């Protein structure tokens, strides 16, 4: 196999550097009206959750999502006269199947595969739509972080069985 990379971020990189190189450009594109996606992929225990959500103990360990939320709500505050709404969804793909981690049944579920499945549909214009993915309106960065950390204690590391 041959691979080509635009850049690599080493294991010693701090969360701030990861956000500056990966998250900030995506958030800026989204704020300018373009679709943006940040996708973490890797084997169990490789650091995806830490990179995306961050560490819970030190502010400097905030991951891509908390830093993105801070940037988004910071921009929204700059324009208090504009009517803006923010919505949060949280999708996890496990074994090629999507699951809504903010589904109301999440707190009562021990196994991610017991959550309702999210399916992807493509319309005639090539736009993707996610069926069964909940959207939650949030009024502040704090509201959004509360939703994020509502999910975190039972995220994939705890809910998904380890394959050997």
Helix (H, G, I), strand (E, B) or coil at 59: helix
pTM of the model: 0.82
Q: What is the pLDDT of residues 103-116, one digit of tens each?
A: 887 777 778 888 88
Find the angle CA(25)-CA(27)-CA(28) to the nearest 5 degrees: 65
CB half-sphere exposure, 137, CA atoms < 13 A: 3
CA distances from 78 to 15, 84, 120 (A): 25, 11, 35
The two tokens of residue 158 are 């705890």
Q: Is 54 annotated as a binding residue?
A: no
Give the pLDDT of residue 104: 83
Q: Is 42 annotated as a binding residue?
A: yes
Q: What is the pLDDT of residues 15-25, one digit of tens each?
A: 999 999 999 99
Q: DSSP class of residue 144?
A: H
Q: What is the pLDDT of residues 55-97, one digit of tens each?
A: 888 999 999 999 999 999 999 999 999 999 999 998 888 888 9
Q: Is 15 annotated as a binding residue?
A: no
Q: Is 107 annotated as a binding residue?
A: no
CB half-sphere exposure, 71, CA atoms < 13 A: 19
Q: Is 74 annotated as a binding residue?
A: no
All structural domains of the chain with their residue ranges: 10-83, 85-147
Q: Which residue has the tokens 């505050």?
A: 77
Give the pLDDT of residue 152: 57
Q: Is 44 annotated as a binding residue?
A: yes
């Amino acid at each position: 196999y041959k691979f080509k990379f635009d850049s690599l971020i080493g294991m010693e990189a701090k969360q701030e550097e990861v956000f500056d190189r990966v998250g900030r450009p995506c958030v800026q594109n989204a704020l300018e009206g373009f679709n943006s996606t940040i996708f973490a992929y890797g084997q169990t225990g490789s650091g995806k959750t830490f990179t995306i959500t961050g560490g819970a103990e030190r502010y400097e360990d905030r991951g891509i999502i908390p830093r993105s939320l801070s940037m988004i709500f910071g921009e929204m505050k700059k324009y208090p006269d504009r009517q803006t709404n923010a919505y949060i969804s949280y999708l996890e793909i496990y074994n090629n199947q999507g699951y809504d981690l903010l589904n109301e049944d999440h707190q009562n579920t021990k196994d991610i595969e017991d959550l309702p499945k999210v399916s992807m549909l493509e319309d005639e214009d090539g736009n993707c739509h996610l069926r069964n993915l909940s959207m939650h309106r949030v009024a502040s960065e704090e509201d959004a972080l509360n939703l994020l950390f509502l999910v975190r204690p039972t995220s994939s590391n705890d809910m998904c069985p380890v394959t050997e």
